[in-house]
Amino acid sequence: MDNASESSRSSPDAAALQALPRKGTRTDRPCDVCRRRKSRCAKEPDQDRCVLCTFHDRECTYLDAPQPRKKRAEFADDRAISVDGHGDSDPRPPLKKTKATQTPDDGTLGPPIASSSVRSLLDRTLGLHRTTHFKYIGPSSLHEERLLDLIHRFYESGNGEDGCKFRRVADATTFLSKSDRHTLFSADVDHDLDTVEQIVQPHGPGLVDLYFRTVHPSYPILHKGVFIEKYARSYKEFSPPLLAAVYLLAMDWWEFDLELASKQKPDAEALLRTAMKALTGVIHRPKLSSVQAGLLLLQRAGGDSWVLTTQVVGIGEELGLHLDCTPWNIPEWEKGLRRRLAWAIYMQDKWGALIHGRPSHVTASNWQMAHVSLADFPESAADEDDKEGSTEVEKGRLLFIHLTKLTEIMAQATEILYSPDQTRIHELVSRSGVQGLLELVKPLAVRLKEWAKDMPADLHMEGVRTRKLCSNGYLHLSYFVTEIIIHRHIIRNLTPATPPHLRDLCREAGKARLERAINFVEALRPEHLQAFWWFASPKSLAFIRTYGGLLWATSSSHEEAEFYRRKLGDFRWSLKVRAKGVSFVAVALQEMDESLQDIDMTQSPVGRTAEASRPEAVLLSSAVPPAADAETQTSDLQIALHDLYHSHQFDSGHTSPGFNILDLDAVSSHGYFSDVGDQGVFYP
User: What is the per-residue pLDDT for 555?
Assistant: 94
Q: How is 477-535 classified by DSSP, letter by letter? A: HHHHHHHHHHHHHHHHT--TTS-HHHHHHHHHHHHHHHHHHHHHHHT--HHHHTS---T
**Count of beta carbons in the 10 Å neighbourhood of residue 409:** 20
How far is the CA of 591 from the CAs of 363, 565, 683, in angstroms? 28, 18, 29
639 pLDDT band, cuts 50/70/90, is very low
How far is the CA of 47 from the CAs of 51, 60, 79, 366, in angstroms? 9, 11, 29, 51
Average pLDDT over residues 566-589: 94
Q: 7 by DSSP, 3-state: which?
A: helix
Decide: 423 and 616 in contact? Cβ < 8 Å.
no
Question: What residues form DSSP beta bridges with 175?
Answer: 136, 167
User: What is the per-residue pLDDT for 173?
Assistant: 83
How far is the CA of 637 from the CAs of 101, 152, 215, 554, 626, in angstroms? 72, 67, 45, 22, 18
CA-to-CA distance for 130 and 239, rounded, in angstroms?
A: 11
SS (H, E, C) 151-207: CCCCCCCCCCCCCCCEEEEECCEEEEEEEHHHCCCHHHHHHHHHHHHHHHCCCHHHH
Chain-centroid distance of CA 54 in Å reads 31
CA-to-CA distance for 477 and 537, rounded, in angstroms?
A: 7
User: What is the per-residue pLDDT for 464?
Assistant: 87
Host H or E run for residue 391: strand 390-391
Question: What residues form DSSP beta bridges with 468?
Answer: 390
Main-chain phi, psi angles of 176, to 5 degrees: -100, 130
**Strands, E assignment, 414-483:** 468-469
CA angle 201, 206, 207 (to 5 degrees): 80
Main-chain phi, psi angles of 161, to 5 degrees: -120, 15
Q: Is it the case that residue 651 has pLDDT exceeding 90?
A: no
CA-to-CA distance for 367 and 73, rounded, in angstroms?
A: 32
Q: Indicate the pTM of the whole model.
A: 0.75
Q: Report which residue type is found at 83.
A: V
Name the nearest CA neighbour of 321 among 348, 341, 292. Answer: 341
**Count of beta carbons in the 10 Å neighbourhood of residue 143:** 15
Per-residue model confidence as pLDDT tens digits over 492-540? 999 888 888 889 999 999 999 999 999 999 999 999 999 999 999 999 9
Average pLDDT over residues 14-32: 51
CA-to-CA distance for 177 and 191, rounded, in angstroms?
A: 26
Question: What residues form DSSP beta bridges with 166?
Answer: 176
Name the nearest CA neighbour of 461 among 384, 395, 528, 552. Answer: 528
291 pLDDT band, cuts 50/70/90, is very high
User: What is the per-residue pLDDT for 188?
Assistant: 78
Name the nearest CA neighbour of 333 among 225, 239, 405. Answer: 225
Per-residue model confidence as pLDDT tens digits over 471-492? 999 999 999 999 999 999 999 9
CA-to-CA distance for 63 and 11, rounded, in angstroms?
A: 32
